[in-house]
Structure 1
């Protein structure tokens, strides 16, 4: 098997562990090409070239941002191929080296042992998933707006490096004290208004987790050709304290101040510029258009994961039958 390993090399200890895994894969007969990123855009370019050169497996070793770059690189490559004879995309393996590692965590990929993760990426089971879009940017996991996106953006790289997931807690507490609402209109592709008013945060999920372990869209199914939308309406500090542990556990879907739906497409519009986070990548605009890409990606996971909440409990799940 031809394997490309794309590494964000910020953690020297992790790089050494990955090097050990690469050597074991070579001893097992695989052809492995490791590439270390140096600046923004490298992971995208390496992923593109890996697909172009016929890699069977691309392993992304880094945080959610690195993985997102690799996903965009693979997808951009496949979209430029001739339609009649589109070659298969490489499978995607993940070695989680970031702070939140939410995509990996949701997929059951263990953190803390990069060497084992590299080996597992070559030996796991295939799991073909949808790819979501927001304003042309692709994401596999979750896109958030409002308080959650602002907290993620303000958790600096240095703070995350030193404190790990606690960095999200610190910036989250700051946002909680400020508790600033955003006003926006959420509309589906057929014109239905899901919500129009003030909100604290929203999430559009292809998968489940964000912010270092919050199961914000727990009824998502990354294979159903639908997106899960969760809107947490404006509320008091006391109510935020009550709902926060529910969101952490994915038990907020039927909360009276939460709008939760499955949709094919979504438009979010505001009079003010908003910040949206898509798998670690911030975007700013007054209008965000969400949908799904035409192609799917095949992840390599330890086992096929299940949603924490039954997708059939959520309004809109019947739309999957008409896809």
Structure 2
């Protein structure tokens, strides 16, 4: 088996020594080429070349969710082909690692590597569905190339929080859960559309859902983690279905307190609920529009502001070693 290991040397939870151990373990079982990323987009380019070469069987991403997202977009540059593309394996190395953990992999990179080697020996894999998002042609902002995401996307509040966190990280702050909580509070206090949301959800064959103040698109459950605690924004979301949407039509202080509590106490059976929450499961095609430009994120990566984004849920997009 020929494999490419894409290594993010800035991964927050893996040291250089740990990376060397992981590379040695993988190289003992396959013909391995290991390449460290040098700039934003490098992991995508490496995975694309591996897919186009036709002689790579497996691409392993060692890093956080951002690295995984780039690798997935490189593999699927020409579209999904589960039987023709290299398999994907993920060794978690970031601060949260939602995709890897949602697949059932250990959060420790050494244990995850062992699980991947066991899966390869037993020829275990899984075909997962993914989300695809892009700006619509009639928007006033610049057109957005289609981009795949593995576990979530968001237009509005949550993307604003992620944007604030990224600004803090550029200033040298560590990515911690406390940092996210502080920035969420600041985003809420500065939110100009707490009571009258500007987001509308459009689905073929249905009337638009107007006035949403928050919109979260989930491809799997849980939506994220707080330490070891899973958070379920949309418990029905799954790699085996299309996309789920959670929306809130108000961000007043009582409403945010209520739904924050729902998230913190959410379970695989019950997520946020109540008169200000709307949930739409298993959507294949839909769009989110905003009267004003809003922050947009995919897989925890802030992508600027958008006024309109179209989404497609693609079942059976990629084969993953689990």
TM-score (norm 2): 0.82
Report the Cα distance in structure 1 between the residues aligned to 2:129 and 2:36, rounded to whole angstroms.
27
Q: Tell me which residue corresponds to 1:300.
A: 321
1:203 is aligned, of 206, 216, 231, to 216
Tell me, what secondary structure is at the counterpart of 2:198? strand
Q: CA deviation at 1:151?
A: 0.4
Specify the SS of the correspondent of 1:273. strand
String of CA shifts for 1:276-322, please: whole Å, max 9, x gaps. 11112333221110113476111222xxxxxxxxxxxxxxxxxxxxx
**Number of aligned positions between the proteins:** 291
2:183 match: 171
Q: Structure 2, unaligned stretches of length 5 or more?
A: 135-145
Partner Cα separation in structure 1 for residue 276 and residue 112 of structure 2 = 39
- Runs of 4+ aligned residues of structure 1 deviating over 6 Å after TM superposition are none
Q: Summarize the Cα distance change of 1:269–1:101 in structure 2 as closer, same or farther, 3 Å threshold.
A: same
Deviation (angstroms), 1:49: 1.8
What aligned pairs does 1:299-318 form with structure 2 within 5 A after superposition?
A: 299-301=320-322
Query: Is 1:227 matched up with 2:243?
Result: yes
Q: Which residue of 2 aligns with 1:22?
A: 23
Deviations 1:121-142 (A, max 9, x none): 3333312111211101110111
Deviation at 1:4, TM superposition (A): 1.2
Query: 2-side partners of 1:246 and 1:39: how far apart?
Result: 38
The change in CA–CA distance for 1:25 and 1:99 in structure 2 (over 3 A counts) is closer
Q: How far is the alpha carbon of 1:74 from its aligned partner?
A: 0.1
Contact 1:210 1:216 in 2 (8 A): yes
What's the counterpart of residue 185 of structure 1?
200
Note if 1:59 corresponds to 2:71.
no
Partners of 2:254 and 2:28 in 1: CA distance: 58
2:274 is the counterpart of 1:255 = yes
Match of 1:223, SS?
Answer: coil
Structure 1 partner of 2:161: 151
Is the Cα–Cα contact under 8 Å of residues 130 and 222 in structure 1 kept in the other structure?
yes
Specify the alignment match of 2:10 in structure 1.
Answer: 10
- For structure 1, list consecutive stretches of 5 or more residues without a partner in the other structure: 302-323
Return the alpha-carbon distance in structure 1 between the equivalents of residues 114 and 172 of structure 2.
Answer: 26
1:160 & 1:294 partners in 2: Cα distance? 39
CA-atom RMSD in angstroms: 2.4
For residues 78-117 of structure 1, the C-alpha deviation after alignment (integer angstroms, 9 at most, x for no partner) is 56x9xxxx96111111122222322223222222x32332
Deviation at 1:158, TM superposition (A): 4.7
The structure that is helix-richer by fraction is 1
